[in-house]
Structure 1
């Protein structure tokens, strides 16, 4: 039995692989690794595929200095700047997505966190969505506290998105205006308020393989069941504009190893998929089983219709996963 098969059997028997095993697994032959990861995905997740869309509910002028981000006020980029969108615009976009078969819709806002007045406005928008559209609502409002998350849940949201972005060790290289611990505290606050949490990170920030593994282990420790895996799209004007772009095979390897570490999670291709020649199809055969469709926050993605065609061609069924 090969090393890959040994670890696959371990995972299928609901045993966790160790950091050392994950690091060794990362060096195994790609095709065998991806095949085994897809077997694990089928075992734990069947053919359910979680597709969500996002709306950029507030753009630009962010107080944080995350080096990858076009919306940071620290950098000069071409990102659009505007305050909170109206409830009408947010509901209209939710209906557009729901009419195309999307089951989950996320409102994303720039900035460290929304203030109380902004939280109230977004709660009104969430309530309006739930009254008018058959769709689940996710929010990404930054580093809110438990009380604020509780208001968001009461308004009708079921999930909070808050990426760790990278490992604890590498985080200070990426951002210095808030910390990895701040992220963890917000995730714990959201869970304490009764919300599900979606959290992952960005690949291609200059991290090591160890950093990639360590972030996945942090997500496992936090009990995260929806994991966005972004590929850095180097934005002109940001400190990472010259970073080397990852390849499709790099991303296949990452999602495959993540499937071994997080066997029951929805592993979600997110930002940067527009740079992949195969639209992420290889990753969806290597352990990934979820996607953010449509446009990203400041970069173009693939259309909902194109993604739906690919999802069905690969034998998946659209479903709300890990609720």
Structure 2
């Protein structure tokens, strides 16, 4: 079915499947179609997920990539991001420490390898890295890559061109810097930097020849249109990896009172992101245990990666539960590069 016809079609089993077919034929999903997925009735959920799985299977088969997060520097952040327990405006009781010493960062890398993770995510809470933090990363990354079969993704905040190039030169494979939400809504969640600042960092990272990891958070009070705008922007930027978080309402943060998301809405968001970004790695990130609950396994019909273990300041489910979920769904954990691979 041509995409212009789909824009005006009411959601149905046939139209969801036609959207998937059109996307696989090389036609980008439109904003109208993306909104139709987000706003589809819950009784259509399995049809929506089937359409997402058709696209996911074509590009990634039944492979699942595992990621491991290391909170290398906690708290002490001068930014006022309303969702974050580590920000200057948060009163949440989170650990506060400067960047960890080499032995702790290496021990975490060893644990990541033991958990069969493909990528070790080294994260600091900061507006951007200072020179001491840059040097610490430059020293430990080559050792991690030499000793363990791991990719390294660095999440260090805002970067300039020189810092991005230094990360490339020391062996970092990918940089994470989330756009978090739409450009329109961004000022509602942060005032100490702008959406444009984040996009500029992504441009510096791309210019340095590094892969881009950028996603966002759903459930902060944004509209459906904001969610779609974020998905479309990530497609336009061409990020390789998209982590999709679902807000964990943490006491002591400005967004602690935001409404709970439903499992069905979270799954529709994952399906929409898959159809908008068909051959990009899509990761179910923070909040999946809280918001997807018993429907977590269905998320793998759209996403092809998950974090194994804990998040930055919140706990994930036991790794053994993740392994069992992947196996029960008939998927396979792999470290192979899968982007663009058809099945």
Give, in angstroms, the shift of residue 309 of structure 1: 2.1
Give, in angstroms, the shift of residue 159 of structure 1: 0.7
Q: CA offsets, 1:280-317, max 9 Å, x none?
A: 212113x1111111110000002223212211222222
Give the count of matched residue pairs.
Answer: 322
1:18 aligns with 2:34: no
Q: CA offsets, 1:27-61, max 9 Å, x none?
A: 33222111111111101221221110110000001
Report the CA distance shift for 1:322/1:65 in structure 2 as closer, same or farther (over 3 A). Answer: farther
For 1:313 and 1:153, how far apart are their aligned partners in 2?
Answer: 38
For 1:88 and 1:279, how far apart are their aligned partners in 2?
Answer: 38
Give, in angstroms, the shift of residue 167 of structure 1: 0.5
1:180 aligns with 2:188: no
* Partner in structure 2 of residue 283 of structure 1: 299
Conservation of the 8 A alpha-carbon contact between 2:35 and 2:225: yes
1:250 aligns with 2:265: yes
1:191 aligns with 2:197: no
Q: CA offsets, 1:123-182, max 9 Å, x none?
A: 111122122222111110011112111111221110111111000100000111111111
Where do 5+ consecutive residues of structure 2 fail to align? 2-13
Q: What SS is found at the alignment partner of 2:93?
A: coil
* TM-score of the superposed pair, with normalisation by structure 2: 0.90
Q: What SS is found at the alignment partner of 2:294?
A: coil
* Partner in structure 2 of residue 82 of structure 1: 97
1:4 aligns with 2:13: no
* Partner in structure 2 of residue 264 of structure 1: 279
Conservation of the 8 A alpha-carbon contact between 1:58 and 1:109: yes
Give, in angstroms, the shift of residue 193 of structure 1: 0.7
* Partner in structure 2 of residue 169 of structure 1: 184
Conservation of the 8 A alpha-carbon contact between 1:87 and 1:128: no
* TM-score of the superposed pair, with normalisation by structure 1: 0.96
RMSD: 1.4
* Partner in structure 2 of residue 129 of structure 1: 144
Give, in angstroms, the shift of residue 246 of structure 1: 0.7
Conservation of the 8 A alpha-carbon contact between 2:231 and 2:277: yes
Which one is further off, 274-283 or 251-260?
A: 274-283
Which one is further off, 215-224 or 74-83?
A: 74-83
Superposition pairs of residues 134-149 of structure 1, within 5 angstroms: 134-149=149-164
Superposition pairs of residues 211-230 of structure 1, within 5 angstroms: 211-230=226-245
Conservation of the 8 A alpha-carbon contact between 1:77 and 1:236: yes
